Structure 1
Protein backbone atom coordinates (compact mmCIF):
# COMPACT_ATOMS: atom_id res chain seq x y z
CA UNK A 1 0.00 0.00 0.00
CA UNK A 2 1.83 3.11 -1.26
CA UNK A 3 -0.89 5.72 -0.76
CA UNK A 4 -0.55 8.06 2.19
CA UNK A 5 -4.25 8.93 2.32
CA UNK A 6 -5.27 6.30 4.83
CA UNK A 7 -8.15 5.92 7.25
CA UNK A 8 -9.42 3.39 9.78
CA UNK A 9 -12.42 1.45 8.52
CA UNK A 10 -14.93 -0.85 10.21
CA UNK A 11 -16.14 -3.86 8.26
CA UNK A 12 -19.78 -5.03 8.52
CA UNK A 13 -18.56 -7.65 11.01
CA UNK A 14 -16.99 -4.97 13.18
CA UNK A 15 -13.35 -5.64 12.30
CA UNK A 16 -11.04 -2.63 12.30
CA UNK A 17 -8.88 -2.22 9.21
CA UNK A 18 -6.69 0.43 7.57
CA UNK A 19 -7.61 1.34 4.00
CA UNK A 20 -6.81 3.91 1.33
CA UNK A 21 -9.45 6.61 1.05
CA UNK A 22 -9.31 9.59 -1.29
CA UNK A 23 -11.21 11.77 1.18
CA UNK A 24 -8.77 11.08 4.03
CA UNK A 25 -6.22 13.74 5.04
CA UNK A 26 -2.67 12.93 4.00
CA UNK A 27 -0.47 11.38 6.67
CA UNK A 28 3.25 11.93 7.12
CA UNK A 29 5.02 9.00 5.53
CA UNK A 30 6.83 7.66 8.66
CA UNK A 31 3.58 7.67 10.62
CA UNK A 32 1.68 6.07 7.76
CA UNK A 33 4.26 3.29 7.51
CA UNK A 34 4.11 2.55 11.23
CA UNK A 35 0.34 2.30 11.14
CA UNK A 36 0.36 0.15 8.01
CA UNK A 37 2.73 -2.33 9.61
CA UNK A 38 0.70 -2.47 12.81
CA UNK A 39 -2.73 -2.84 11.19
CA UNK A 40 -1.34 -5.53 8.88
CA UNK A 41 -1.02 -7.70 12.01
CA UNK A 42 -4.62 -7.02 13.09
CA UNK A 43 -6.92 -4.39 14.51
CA UNK A 44 -5.64 -4.86 18.07
CA UNK A 45 -2.05 -4.17 17.02
CA UNK A 46 -3.19 -1.14 15.03
CA UNK A 47 -4.95 0.24 18.09
CA UNK A 48 -1.88 -0.40 20.23
CA UNK A 49 0.23 1.52 17.72
CA UNK A 50 -2.21 4.43 17.82
CA UNK A 51 -2.02 4.42 21.61
CA UNK A 52 1.71 5.06 21.32
CA UNK A 53 1.20 8.13 19.09
CA UNK A 54 0.15 10.35 21.98
CA UNK A 55 2.15 13.41 20.94
CA UNK A 56 1.37 13.41 17.21
CA UNK A 57 -1.40 15.42 15.62
CA UNK A 58 -3.78 12.99 13.92
CA UNK A 59 -6.85 13.31 11.67
CA UNK A 60 -10.20 12.94 13.48
CA UNK A 61 -10.75 9.26 12.63
CA UNK A 62 -7.32 8.27 13.92
CA UNK A 63 -7.70 10.52 16.98
CA UNK A 64 -10.96 8.76 17.77
CA UNK A 65 -9.34 5.32 17.83
CA UNK A 66 -6.33 6.70 19.69
CA UNK A 67 -8.72 7.89 22.41
CA UNK A 68 -10.19 4.39 22.57
CA UNK A 69 -6.72 2.84 22.86
CA UNK A 70 -5.85 5.45 25.48
CA UNK A 71 -8.77 4.32 27.64
CA UNK A 72 -7.42 0.79 27.56
CA UNK A 73 -3.83 1.81 28.33
CA UNK A 74 -5.00 4.03 31.18
CA UNK A 75 -6.79 1.05 32.72
CA UNK A 76 -3.58 -0.97 32.40
CA UNK A 77 -1.47 1.82 33.91
CA UNK A 78 -3.75 2.17 36.92
CA UNK A 79 -3.46 -1.55 37.66
CA UNK A 80 0.13 -2.28 36.69
CA UNK A 81 1.50 -1.87 40.21
CA UNK A 82 -1.08 -4.01 41.96
CA UNK A 83 -0.24 -7.52 43.10
CA UNK A 84 -3.95 -8.30 42.70
CA UNK A 85 -3.85 -7.77 38.92
CA UNK A 86 -3.34 -11.07 37.14
CA UNK A 87 -2.85 -9.32 33.78
CA UNK A 88 -6.30 -10.34 32.72
CA UNK A 89 -8.47 -8.11 30.57
CA UNK A 90 -8.93 -4.78 32.40
CA UNK A 91 -12.62 -3.91 32.65
CA UNK A 92 -13.99 -1.37 30.21
CA UNK A 93 -16.17 1.49 31.41
CA UNK A 94 -19.49 0.79 29.71
CA UNK A 95 -20.60 4.39 29.96
CA UNK A 96 -17.48 5.58 28.16
CA UNK A 97 -17.85 2.92 25.47
CA UNK A 98 -21.45 3.93 24.81
CA UNK A 99 -20.43 7.58 24.66
CA UNK A 100 -17.65 6.76 22.19
CA UNK A 101 -19.97 4.67 20.04
CA UNK A 102 -22.37 7.61 19.80
CA UNK A 103 -19.68 10.13 18.84
CA UNK A 104 -17.84 8.45 15.98
CA UNK A 105 -16.36 10.82 13.36
CA UNK A 106 -16.78 10.49 9.61
CA UNK A 107 -15.05 7.30 8.45
CA UNK A 108 -15.91 4.26 6.34
CA UNK A 109 -17.98 1.76 8.30
CA UNK A 110 -19.01 4.17 11.06
CA UNK A 111 -22.58 2.87 10.72
CA UNK A 112 -21.44 -0.49 12.10
CA UNK A 113 -20.02 0.99 15.28
CA UNK A 114 -21.75 0.01 18.54
CA UNK A 115 -20.70 -0.37 22.16
CA UNK A 116 -20.65 -4.14 21.60
CA UNK A 117 -18.20 -3.72 18.71
CA UNK A 118 -15.99 -1.60 20.96
CA UNK A 119 -16.10 -4.31 23.63
CA UNK A 120 -14.81 -6.86 21.13
CA UNK A 121 -12.08 -4.51 19.92
CA UNK A 122 -11.15 -3.96 23.58
CA UNK A 123 -10.47 -7.69 23.86
CA UNK A 124 -8.43 -7.66 20.63
CA UNK A 125 -6.39 -4.77 21.97
CA UNK A 126 -5.78 -6.67 25.20
CA UNK A 127 -4.42 -9.71 23.39
CA UNK A 128 -2.18 -7.56 21.22
CA UNK A 129 -0.89 -5.82 24.35
CA UNK A 130 -0.32 -9.11 26.18
CA UNK A 131 1.48 -10.68 23.21
CA UNK A 132 3.81 -7.70 22.80
CA UNK A 133 4.36 -7.53 26.57
CA UNK A 134 5.39 -11.19 26.74
CA UNK A 135 7.74 -10.77 23.79
CA UNK A 136 9.29 -7.73 25.48
CA UNK A 137 10.11 -9.68 28.64
CA UNK A 138 6.99 -9.21 30.75
CA UNK A 139 7.88 -6.02 32.67
CA UNK A 140 4.76 -3.86 32.38
CA UNK A 141 6.37 -0.52 33.28
CA UNK A 142 9.25 -1.02 30.87
CA UNK A 143 6.87 -2.03 28.09
CA UNK A 144 4.67 1.01 28.70
CA UNK A 145 7.79 3.18 28.53
CA UNK A 146 8.73 1.56 25.22
CA UNK A 147 5.32 2.45 23.77
CA UNK A 148 5.74 6.05 24.83
CA UNK A 149 7.57 7.31 27.95
CA UNK A 150 4.54 9.31 29.04
CA UNK A 151 2.50 6.13 29.59
CA UNK A 152 4.97 5.08 32.26
CA UNK A 153 3.87 8.12 34.30
CA UNK A 154 0.13 7.41 34.24
CA UNK A 155 -1.34 5.76 37.32
CA UNK A 156 1.64 6.70 39.47
CA UNK A 157 2.16 8.88 42.53
CA UNK A 158 4.30 12.00 42.12
CA UNK A 159 5.99 13.89 44.94
CA UNK A 160 6.21 17.54 43.86
CA UNK A 161 8.62 19.91 45.58
CA UNK A 162 8.74 23.60 44.71
CA UNK A 163 10.21 26.80 46.09
CA UNK A 164 8.10 29.44 47.81
CA UNK A 165 10.54 32.28 48.40
CA UNK A 166 7.89 34.60 49.79
CA UNK A 167 7.54 32.38 52.86
CA UNK A 168 10.73 32.81 54.88
CA UNK A 169 9.76 30.31 57.57
CA UNK A 170 8.76 27.57 55.12
CA UNK A 171 10.34 28.39 51.74
CA UNK A 172 9.30 25.08 50.15
CA UNK A 173 5.95 23.62 49.14
CA UNK A 174 5.17 19.91 48.91
CA UNK A 175 2.23 18.28 47.15
CA UNK A 176 1.61 14.61 46.37
CA UNK A 177 -0.30 14.08 43.12
CA UNK A 178 -1.22 11.21 40.85
CA UNK A 179 -1.70 10.99 37.11
CA UNK A 180 -5.14 9.73 36.22
CA UNK A 181 -4.66 9.89 32.45
CA UNK A 182 -3.47 11.96 29.52
CA UNK A 183 -4.92 15.08 27.96
CA UNK A 184 -5.85 15.31 24.28
CA UNK A 185 -2.36 16.68 23.65
CA UNK A 186 -0.68 13.75 25.36
CA UNK A 187 0.23 15.57 28.58
CA UNK A 188 -0.15 13.80 31.89
CA UNK A 189 -3.02 15.12 34.00
CA UNK A 190 -2.06 15.59 37.63
CA UNK A 191 -4.60 15.51 40.45
CA UNK A 192 -4.04 15.84 44.22
CA UNK A 193 -3.45 12.43 45.74
CA UNK A 194 -6.37 12.98 48.09
CA UNK A 195 -8.63 13.00 45.03
CA UNK A 196 -7.70 9.36 44.41
CA UNK A 197 -9.43 8.36 47.64
CA UNK A 198 -12.66 9.73 46.16
CA UNK A 199 -12.11 8.65 42.54
CA UNK A 200 -11.21 5.09 43.50
CA UNK A 201 -13.72 4.64 46.30
CA UNK A 202 -15.62 1.36 46.41
CA UNK A 203 -14.79 -2.31 46.02
CA UNK A 204 -14.77 -2.10 42.22
CA UNK A 205 -11.77 0.25 42.30
CA UNK A 206 -9.87 -1.44 45.13
CA UNK A 207 -7.33 -2.92 42.70
CA UNK A 208 -6.61 0.50 41.20
CA UNK A 209 -6.22 2.18 44.59
CA UNK A 210 -3.85 -0.52 45.83
CA UNK A 211 -1.81 -0.25 42.63
CA UNK A 212 -1.55 3.51 43.06
CA UNK A 213 -0.53 3.48 46.73
CA UNK A 214 1.73 0.41 46.73
CA UNK A 215 4.86 2.41 45.74
CA UNK A 216 4.14 4.84 48.59
CA UNK A 217 3.91 1.91 50.99
CA UNK A 218 7.24 0.56 49.74
CA UNK A 219 8.87 3.98 50.07
CA UNK A 220 7.47 4.43 53.59
CA UNK A 221 9.20 1.21 54.62
CA UNK A 222 12.52 2.81 53.62
CA UNK A 223 11.92 6.41 54.74
CA UNK A 224 10.85 7.02 58.34
CA UNK A 225 9.78 10.61 57.66
CA UNK A 226 7.40 9.42 54.93
CA UNK A 227 6.01 6.69 57.16
CA UNK A 228 5.13 9.36 59.70
CA UNK A 229 3.41 11.47 57.03
CA UNK A 230 1.33 8.50 55.91
CA UNK A 231 0.31 7.63 59.46
CA UNK A 232 -0.73 11.23 60.15
CA UNK A 233 -2.60 11.55 56.84
CA UNK A 234 -0.42 14.49 55.77
CA UNK A 235 0.33 12.99 52.38
CA UNK A 236 -3.10 13.90 51.06
CA UNK A 237 -2.81 17.67 51.61
CA UNK A 238 -0.54 20.50 50.37
CA UNK A 239 2.22 21.23 52.88
CA UNK A 240 4.56 24.10 53.74
CA UNK A 241 8.05 22.77 54.29
CA UNK A 242 11.14 24.09 56.00
CA UNK A 243 14.57 23.61 54.37
CA UNK A 244 15.19 20.68 56.71
CA UNK A 245 11.99 18.94 55.59
CA UNK A 246 12.82 19.53 51.92
CA UNK A 247 16.31 18.15 52.47
CA UNK A 248 14.87 14.89 53.82
CA UNK A 249 13.07 14.30 50.54
CA UNK A 250 16.02 15.32 48.37
CA UNK A 251 18.32 13.01 50.32
CA UNK A 252 15.96 10.08 49.79
CA UNK A 253 15.15 10.62 46.09
CA UNK A 254 16.97 7.39 45.07
CA UNK A 255 14.95 5.36 47.58
CA UNK A 256 11.68 6.97 46.51
CA UNK A 257 12.32 6.33 42.83
CA UNK A 258 13.43 2.77 43.55
CA UNK A 259 10.07 2.21 45.25
CA UNK A 260 8.23 3.55 42.19
CA UNK A 261 7.40 7.09 43.31
CA UNK A 262 8.08 9.82 40.75
CA UNK A 263 9.83 12.88 42.21
CA UNK A 264 9.33 16.22 40.48
CA UNK A 265 11.29 19.35 41.31
CA UNK A 266 12.43 22.53 39.53
CA UNK A 267 14.53 21.73 36.47
CA UNK A 268 17.33 23.94 37.76
CA UNK A 269 17.89 21.50 40.62
CA UNK A 270 18.41 18.50 38.37
CA UNK A 271 21.74 19.50 36.89
CA UNK A 272 23.62 18.67 40.06
CA UNK A 273 25.34 22.05 39.98
CA UNK A 274 25.01 24.88 42.50
CA UNK A 275 23.35 28.06 41.19
CA UNK A 276 25.74 30.61 39.72
CA UNK A 277 25.83 34.22 40.88
CA UNK A 278 24.75 36.75 38.26
CA UNK A 279 26.53 40.10 37.96
CA UNK A 280 24.65 43.17 36.75
CA UNK A 281 26.18 46.58 36.10
CA UNK A 282 24.45 49.89 35.41
CA UNK A 283 26.38 52.79 33.95
CA UNK A 284 25.23 56.39 34.25
CA UNK A 285 22.76 56.06 37.11
CA UNK A 286 22.79 59.84 37.85
CA UNK A 287 22.40 62.71 35.39
CA UNK A 288 25.96 64.10 34.99
CA UNK A 289 26.67 67.76 35.61
CA UNK A 290 28.98 67.69 32.63
CA UNK A 291 31.67 65.65 30.95
CA UNK A 292 34.33 64.76 33.45
CA UNK A 293 35.73 62.17 35.82
CA UNK A 294 32.51 61.99 37.88
CA UNK A 295 30.43 61.12 34.82
CA UNK A 296 32.93 58.54 33.60
CA UNK A 297 33.05 56.79 36.97
CA UNK A 298 29.28 56.83 37.54
CA UNK A 299 28.29 53.13 37.62
CA UNK A 300 26.57 50.69 39.96
CA UNK A 301 27.22 46.95 40.25
CA UNK A 302 25.22 44.27 42.05
CA UNK A 303 25.41 40.49 42.35
CA UNK A 304 22.34 38.27 42.58
CA UNK A 305 21.84 34.56 43.25
CA UNK A 306 18.66 32.95 41.88
CA UNK A 307 17.05 36.36 41.55
CA UNK A 308 17.95 37.58 45.06
CA UNK A 309 20.35 40.52 45.34
CA UNK A 310 23.29 39.73 47.64
CA UNK A 311 24.38 42.13 50.34
CA UNK A 312 28.07 43.09 50.68
CA UNK A 313 28.32 40.73 53.67
CA UNK A 314 26.80 37.82 51.70
CA UNK A 315 29.06 38.56 48.74
CA UNK A 316 32.09 38.55 51.04
CA UNK A 317 31.00 35.18 52.46
CA UNK A 318 30.94 33.71 48.96
Structure 2
Protein backbone atom coordinates (compact mmCIF):
# COMPACT_ATOMS: atom_id res chain seq x y z
CA UNK A 1 0.00 0.00 0.00
CA UNK A 2 2.82 2.38 0.93
CA UNK A 3 4.49 1.71 -2.41
CA UNK A 4 1.24 2.46 -4.26
CA UNK A 5 0.83 5.75 -2.37
CA UNK A 6 4.37 6.78 -3.22
CA UNK A 7 3.79 5.91 -6.86
CA UNK A 8 0.63 8.02 -6.91
CA UNK A 9 2.40 10.97 -5.32
CA UNK A 10 5.25 10.69 -7.84
CA UNK A 11 2.80 10.60 -10.73
CA UNK A 12 1.01 13.70 -9.42
CA UNK A 13 4.31 15.56 -9.04
CA UNK A 14 5.31 14.65 -12.58
CA UNK A 15 1.95 15.79 -13.94
CA UNK A 16 2.26 19.06 -12.04
CA UNK A 17 5.75 19.64 -13.39
CA UNK A 18 4.57 18.97 -16.92
CA UNK A 19 1.73 21.48 -16.57
CA UNK A 20 4.10 24.03 -15.03
CA UNK A 21 6.29 23.80 -18.12
CA UNK A 22 3.40 24.36 -20.56
CA UNK A 23 3.91 25.19 -23.34
CA UNK A 24 6.88 23.04 -24.33
CA UNK A 25 6.13 23.10 -28.06
CA UNK A 26 4.23 25.11 -30.65
CA UNK A 27 0.54 25.79 -30.04
CA UNK A 28 -1.95 25.66 -32.89
CA UNK A 29 -5.01 27.88 -33.04
CA UNK A 30 -7.57 26.47 -35.45
CA UNK A 31 -9.54 29.12 -37.34
CA UNK A 32 -12.58 27.45 -38.92
CA UNK A 33 -12.58 29.82 -41.90
CA UNK A 34 -10.33 30.72 -44.81
CA UNK A 35 -7.13 32.73 -44.41
CA UNK A 36 -7.52 36.46 -44.87
CA UNK A 37 -11.06 36.65 -43.53
CA UNK A 38 -12.20 38.64 -40.48
CA UNK A 39 -11.88 35.81 -37.97
CA UNK A 40 -8.46 34.90 -39.33
CA UNK A 41 -7.32 38.50 -38.80
CA UNK A 42 -8.46 38.45 -35.17
CA UNK A 43 -6.69 35.12 -34.57
CA UNK A 44 -3.39 36.26 -36.08
CA UNK A 45 -3.39 39.53 -34.15
CA UNK A 46 -4.20 37.68 -30.92
CA UNK A 47 -1.60 34.95 -31.46
CA UNK A 48 1.12 37.50 -32.11
CA UNK A 49 0.74 39.02 -28.64
CA UNK A 50 -0.37 35.94 -26.65
CA UNK A 51 2.95 34.24 -27.31
CA UNK A 52 4.70 36.91 -25.22
CA UNK A 53 2.99 35.53 -22.11
CA UNK A 54 3.68 31.93 -23.08
CA UNK A 55 7.47 31.95 -23.09
CA UNK A 56 7.59 33.31 -26.66
CA UNK A 57 6.47 29.89 -27.82
CA UNK A 58 5.36 29.69 -31.46
CA UNK A 59 1.61 29.92 -32.09
CA UNK A 60 0.55 28.60 -35.47
CA UNK A 61 -2.72 29.37 -37.27
CA UNK A 62 -4.45 26.43 -38.95
CA UNK A 63 -7.25 27.48 -41.31
CA UNK A 64 -9.77 24.64 -41.49
CA UNK A 65 -12.67 26.12 -43.44
CA UNK A 66 -15.91 24.53 -44.53
CA UNK A 67 -19.45 23.81 -43.37
CA UNK A 68 -19.88 27.18 -41.68
CA UNK A 69 -17.03 26.63 -39.27
CA UNK A 70 -18.14 23.20 -38.07
CA UNK A 71 -15.23 21.33 -39.68
CA UNK A 72 -12.65 23.33 -37.77
CA UNK A 73 -14.63 23.11 -34.54
CA UNK A 74 -14.91 19.34 -34.97
CA UNK A 75 -11.13 19.07 -35.37
CA UNK A 76 -10.58 20.81 -32.05
CA UNK A 77 -13.34 18.90 -30.25
CA UNK A 78 -11.61 15.65 -31.22
CA UNK A 79 -8.03 16.85 -30.53
CA UNK A 80 -5.92 15.77 -27.57
CA UNK A 81 -6.90 17.78 -24.46
CA UNK A 82 -3.40 19.05 -23.77
CA UNK A 83 -3.63 22.76 -24.61
CA UNK A 84 -1.71 22.52 -27.87
CA UNK A 85 -4.78 22.68 -30.12
CA UNK A 86 -7.15 25.60 -29.55
CA UNK A 87 -10.09 27.05 -31.43
CA UNK A 88 -10.89 30.68 -32.16
CA UNK A 89 -14.46 30.87 -33.37
CA UNK A 90 -17.07 33.58 -33.79
CA UNK A 91 -20.85 33.73 -33.33
CA UNK A 92 -21.12 30.60 -35.49
CA UNK A 93 -20.34 28.64 -32.35
CA UNK A 94 -23.86 29.52 -31.17
CA UNK A 95 -25.72 29.42 -34.49
CA UNK A 96 -24.40 26.11 -35.82
CA UNK A 97 -26.74 23.97 -33.66
CA UNK A 98 -29.73 25.50 -35.48
CA UNK A 99 -28.10 25.53 -38.92
CA UNK A 100 -26.62 22.03 -39.03
CA UNK A 101 -28.56 18.87 -38.26
CA UNK A 102 -25.62 16.45 -38.16
CA UNK A 103 -22.79 18.13 -36.30
CA UNK A 104 -19.97 15.94 -34.99
CA UNK A 105 -19.71 17.77 -31.67
CA UNK A 106 -21.92 19.24 -28.94
CA UNK A 107 -21.32 22.96 -28.50
CA UNK A 108 -21.91 23.14 -24.77
CA UNK A 109 -20.38 19.79 -23.86
CA UNK A 110 -17.28 19.14 -25.96
CA UNK A 111 -15.15 22.21 -25.20
CA UNK A 112 -13.49 24.08 -22.38
CA UNK A 113 -14.57 27.71 -22.66
CA UNK A 114 -11.61 30.06 -22.23
CA UNK A 115 -13.22 33.49 -22.70
CA UNK A 116 -14.36 35.98 -25.30
CA UNK A 117 -11.78 38.33 -26.80
CA UNK A 118 -13.34 40.84 -29.19
CA UNK A 119 -16.75 41.86 -30.47
CA UNK A 120 -16.78 42.94 -34.11
CA UNK A 121 -19.69 45.08 -35.34
CA UNK A 122 -21.06 44.72 -38.84
CA UNK A 123 -21.45 47.26 -41.62
CA UNK A 124 -24.21 47.38 -44.20
CA UNK A 125 -22.50 48.13 -47.51
CA UNK A 126 -23.48 48.28 -51.16
CA UNK A 127 -21.97 48.10 -54.62
CA UNK A 128 -20.33 51.31 -55.92
CA UNK A 129 -23.05 51.95 -58.51
CA UNK A 130 -25.95 51.72 -56.08
CA UNK A 131 -28.05 54.92 -56.48
CA UNK A 132 -28.52 55.40 -52.71
CA UNK A 133 -26.01 57.55 -50.81
CA UNK A 134 -27.32 57.22 -47.24
CA UNK A 135 -29.49 54.83 -45.29
CA UNK A 136 -32.73 56.77 -45.84
CA UNK A 137 -32.18 56.60 -49.60
CA UNK A 138 -31.22 52.93 -49.34
CA UNK A 139 -34.45 52.10 -47.48
CA UNK A 140 -36.48 53.72 -50.28
CA UNK A 141 -34.45 51.89 -52.94
CA UNK A 142 -35.00 48.54 -51.17
CA UNK A 143 -38.74 49.16 -50.97
CA UNK A 144 -38.89 50.06 -54.67
CA UNK A 145 -36.90 47.00 -55.74
CA UNK A 146 -38.52 44.20 -53.75
CA UNK A 147 -37.78 40.79 -55.21
CA UNK A 148 -34.88 42.07 -57.31
CA UNK A 149 -32.18 42.71 -54.69
CA UNK A 150 -29.15 40.42 -54.43
CA UNK A 151 -27.66 40.09 -50.94
CA UNK A 152 -24.21 38.48 -50.78
CA UNK A 153 -22.85 36.41 -47.93
CA UNK A 154 -19.74 34.34 -47.24
CA UNK A 155 -21.64 31.06 -46.97
CA UNK A 156 -24.14 29.29 -44.74
CA UNK A 157 -23.43 30.11 -41.12
CA UNK A 158 -21.05 32.97 -41.86
CA UNK A 159 -21.35 36.28 -40.05
CA UNK A 160 -22.60 37.96 -43.22
CA UNK A 161 -25.24 35.26 -43.66
CA UNK A 162 -26.53 35.73 -40.12
CA UNK A 163 -26.60 39.51 -40.35
CA UNK A 164 -28.42 39.25 -43.67
CA UNK A 165 -31.06 36.95 -42.18
CA UNK A 166 -31.73 39.31 -39.30
CA UNK A 167 -31.79 42.35 -41.59
CA UNK A 168 -34.33 40.81 -43.97
CA UNK A 169 -36.46 39.73 -41.02
CA UNK A 170 -36.35 43.22 -39.51
CA UNK A 171 -37.17 45.21 -42.67
CA UNK A 172 -39.62 42.51 -43.80
CA UNK A 173 -38.18 42.30 -47.30
CA UNK A 174 -37.09 39.03 -48.87
CA UNK A 175 -33.91 39.33 -50.91
CA UNK A 176 -32.13 36.90 -53.21
CA UNK A 177 -29.30 35.62 -51.01
CA UNK A 178 -26.12 34.75 -52.89
CA UNK A 179 -23.77 32.52 -50.86
CA UNK A 180 -20.04 32.44 -51.63
CA UNK A 181 -17.20 30.25 -50.44
CA UNK A 182 -15.73 32.88 -48.18
CA UNK A 183 -15.71 36.63 -47.62
CA UNK A 184 -13.12 37.46 -50.29
CA UNK A 185 -15.09 36.25 -53.35
CA UNK A 186 -18.27 37.84 -51.99
CA UNK A 187 -16.48 41.18 -51.65
CA UNK A 188 -14.97 40.83 -55.13
CA UNK A 189 -18.42 40.48 -56.70
CA UNK A 190 -19.80 43.35 -54.62
CA UNK A 191 -16.97 45.61 -55.83
CA UNK A 192 -17.68 44.47 -59.39
CA UNK A 193 -21.40 45.18 -59.09
CA UNK A 194 -22.53 41.57 -59.56
CA UNK A 195 -24.43 41.75 -56.23
CA UNK A 196 -26.13 44.70 -54.55
CA UNK A 197 -25.61 44.50 -50.80
CA UNK A 198 -23.68 42.75 -48.07
CA UNK A 199 -23.61 42.99 -44.28
CA UNK A 200 -20.12 42.10 -43.11
CA UNK A 201 -17.69 42.61 -40.25
CA UNK A 202 -15.77 45.86 -39.89
CA UNK A 203 -12.53 43.85 -39.91
CA UNK A 204 -13.26 43.04 -43.54
CA UNK A 205 -14.99 46.19 -44.76
CA UNK A 206 -13.13 49.11 -43.17
CA UNK A 207 -10.34 49.26 -45.77
CA UNK A 208 -12.88 49.14 -48.62
CA UNK A 209 -14.93 51.90 -46.99
CA UNK A 210 -11.84 54.06 -46.41
CA UNK A 211 -10.82 53.62 -50.05
CA UNK A 212 -14.30 54.58 -51.26
CA UNK A 213 -14.66 51.29 -53.12
CA UNK A 214 -18.06 50.48 -51.62
CA UNK A 215 -20.98 52.51 -50.38
CA UNK A 216 -21.40 52.29 -46.62
CA UNK A 217 -24.80 52.93 -45.03
CA UNK A 218 -24.78 51.96 -41.35
CA UNK A 219 -23.19 49.94 -38.55
CA UNK A 220 -24.88 47.31 -36.40
CA UNK A 221 -23.39 48.38 -33.05
CA UNK A 222 -25.35 49.99 -30.22
CA UNK A 223 -23.44 53.26 -30.69
CA UNK A 224 -21.34 54.87 -33.39
CA UNK A 225 -17.81 53.59 -33.86
CA UNK A 226 -14.52 55.45 -33.74
CA UNK A 227 -12.18 55.75 -36.68
CA UNK A 228 -12.26 58.22 -39.55
CA UNK A 229 -14.22 56.03 -41.96
CA UNK A 230 -16.66 54.45 -39.51
CA UNK A 231 -17.50 57.38 -37.21
CA UNK A 232 -19.56 59.00 -39.97
CA UNK A 233 -21.90 56.03 -40.23
CA UNK A 234 -25.14 55.95 -38.23
CA UNK A 235 -26.19 52.86 -36.33
CA UNK A 236 -29.13 50.98 -37.80
CA UNK A 237 -30.97 51.79 -34.60
CA UNK A 238 -30.42 55.52 -35.28
CA UNK A 239 -31.53 54.98 -38.88
CA UNK A 240 -34.91 53.70 -37.72
CA UNK A 241 -34.45 49.97 -37.10
CA UNK A 242 -34.98 50.22 -33.35
CA UNK A 243 -33.13 47.59 -31.34
CA UNK A 244 -31.18 46.24 -34.33
CA UNK A 245 -27.81 45.14 -33.02
CA UNK A 246 -25.46 42.41 -34.20
CA UNK A 247 -21.99 41.90 -32.81
CA UNK A 248 -19.81 39.11 -34.12
CA UNK A 249 -18.06 38.07 -30.94
CA UNK A 250 -14.99 35.85 -30.99
CA UNK A 251 -13.99 33.39 -28.29
CA UNK A 252 -11.25 30.90 -27.52
CA UNK A 253 -11.88 27.21 -26.78
CA UNK A 254 -9.91 24.07 -25.91
CA UNK A 255 -10.94 20.40 -26.14
CA UNK A 256 -13.00 19.13 -23.21
CA UNK A 257 -10.92 17.89 -20.25
CA UNK A 258 -7.92 20.08 -20.99
CA UNK A 259 -6.30 20.45 -17.52
CA UNK A 260 -7.34 23.54 -15.60
CA UNK A 261 -3.72 24.50 -14.95
CA UNK A 262 -3.25 24.72 -18.73
CA UNK A 263 -6.51 26.57 -19.46
CA UNK A 264 -5.67 29.04 -16.69
CA UNK A 265 -2.33 29.79 -18.37
CA UNK A 266 -4.02 30.29 -21.73
CA UNK A 267 -6.69 32.52 -20.21
CA UNK A 268 -4.05 34.66 -18.48
CA UNK A 269 -2.09 35.01 -21.73
CA UNK A 270 -5.28 35.95 -23.54
CA UNK A 271 -6.13 38.66 -20.98
CA UNK A 272 -2.60 40.08 -21.20
CA UNK A 273 -2.87 40.17 -24.99
CA UNK A 274 -6.07 42.22 -24.83
CA UNK A 275 -4.19 44.92 -22.90
CA UNK A 276 -1.30 45.08 -25.36
CA UNK A 277 -1.13 48.63 -26.85
CA UNK A 278 -0.40 47.44 -30.38
CA UNK A 279 -3.24 44.91 -30.28
CA UNK A 280 -5.63 47.53 -28.92
CA UNK A 281 -4.63 49.99 -31.62
CA UNK A 282 -5.12 47.45 -34.43
CA UNK A 283 -8.54 46.42 -33.15
CA UNK A 284 -9.74 49.99 -32.74
CA UNK A 285 -8.69 50.81 -36.30
CA UNK A 286 -10.80 47.90 -37.54
CA UNK A 287 -13.83 48.81 -35.43
CA UNK A 288 -13.43 45.83 -33.08
CA UNK A 289 -14.43 46.24 -29.45
CA UNK A 290 -12.15 44.45 -26.98
CA UNK A 291 -14.09 42.48 -24.37
CA UNK A 292 -13.62 43.86 -20.87
CA UNK A 293 -16.47 42.29 -18.89
CA UNK A 294 -17.03 38.99 -17.09
CA UNK A 295 -17.18 37.09 -20.39
CA UNK A 296 -13.38 37.14 -20.37
CA UNK A 297 -13.72 34.17 -18.04
CA UNK A 298 -14.73 30.69 -19.10
CA UNK A 299 -17.90 30.24 -17.02
CA UNK A 300 -19.48 33.52 -18.17
CA UNK A 301 -18.33 32.89 -21.73
CA UNK A 302 -20.23 29.60 -21.71
CA UNK A 303 -23.38 31.18 -20.24
CA UNK A 304 -23.26 33.83 -22.94
CA UNK A 305 -22.94 31.28 -25.75
CA UNK A 306 -25.93 29.39 -24.37
CA UNK A 307 -27.98 32.62 -24.39
CA UNK A 308 -26.91 33.26 -27.99
CA UNK A 309 -28.01 29.75 -28.99
CA UNK A 310 -31.44 30.60 -27.59
CA UNK A 311 -31.47 33.99 -29.35
CA UNK A 312 -30.51 32.87 -32.85
CA UNK A 313 -32.28 29.51 -32.99
CA UNK A 314 -35.75 30.98 -33.66
CA UNK A 315 -34.42 33.43 -36.29
CA UNK A 316 -32.68 30.66 -38.23
CA UNK A 317 -35.58 28.24 -37.96
CA UNK A 318 -38.04 30.90 -39.17
CA UNK A 319 -35.86 31.41 -42.25
CA UNK A 320 -35.87 27.66 -42.93
CA UNK A 321 -32.20 27.55 -43.90
CA UNK A 322 -30.51 24.33 -42.79
CA UNK A 323 -27.67 22.10 -43.87
CA UNK A 324 -27.14 18.39 -43.30
TM-score with structure 1 length normalisation?
0.26
TM-score with structure 2 length normalisation?
0.25
Larger radius of gyration: 1
RCO (CA 8 Å, sep 6+): is it higher in 1 or 2?
A: 2
